[in-house]
Amino acid sequence: MRLFRLSAAAAAIAISATALSSLPAGAQNDSPIEQRQKLMKENGKSAKAAVQMIKGEAEYSPEKAKEVFTSMHEVAMKFGDYFPQDSKTGHKTEAAPAIWDKPEEFKAALAKFQEDTAAAMDSAPADRQAFQQVFGKVAQNCKSCHEDFRVEKD
Ligand code: HEC
Question: How many Cβ atoms sit within 10 Å of the Cβ of residue 15?
Answer: 14
How far, in Å, CA of 128 to CA of 136, rounded?
12
Predicted local confidence at residue 60, as pLDDT: 97
Predicted local confidence at residue 154, as pLDDT: 67
In angstroms, what is the span from residue 40 Cα to ligand 1's centroid? Answer: 5
Task: Choose the weakest-confidence range: 6-10, 36-40, 52-56, 147-151.
Answer: 6-10
How far, in Å, CA of 75 to CA of 47, rounded?
12
C-alpha distance from residue 68 to each of 37, 98, 112, 119, 120 (Å): 18, 28, 17, 13, 9
Predicted local confidence at residue 110, as pLDDT: 98
Q: What is the pLDDT of residues 75-127, one digit of tens each?
A: 999 999 999 999 999 999 999 999 999 999 999 999 999 999 999 999 989 99
pLDDT band, residue 42 (cuts 50/70/90): very high
pLDDT band, residue 20 (cuts 50/70/90): very low
Predicted local confidence at residue 1, as pLDDT: 44
Sign of CA dihedral 32, 37, 38, 39: positive
Q: Which residues line ligand 1 (CB under 6 A)?
A: 33, 36-37, 40-41, 43-44, 47, 72, 93-95, 109-110, 113, 139, 141-142, 145-146, 149-150
pLDDT band, residue 152 (cuts 50/70/90): confident
Nearest residue by C-alpha to atom 26 in ligand 1 = 37
How far is CA 135 from its chain centroid?
A: 16
Q: What is the pLDDT of residues 44-82, one digit of tens each?
A: 999 999 999 999 999 999 999 999 999 999 999 999 999
Ligand 1 mutation target, pool 142, 143, 144, 147, most atoms within 8 A of CB: 142
Q: Which residue has the higher pLDDT, 3 or 144?
A: 144
Q: Identify the CA nearest to 86 among candidates 20, 13, 21, 145.
A: 13
pLDDT band, residue 153 (cuts 50/70/90): confident
Average pLDDT of span 33-50: 97
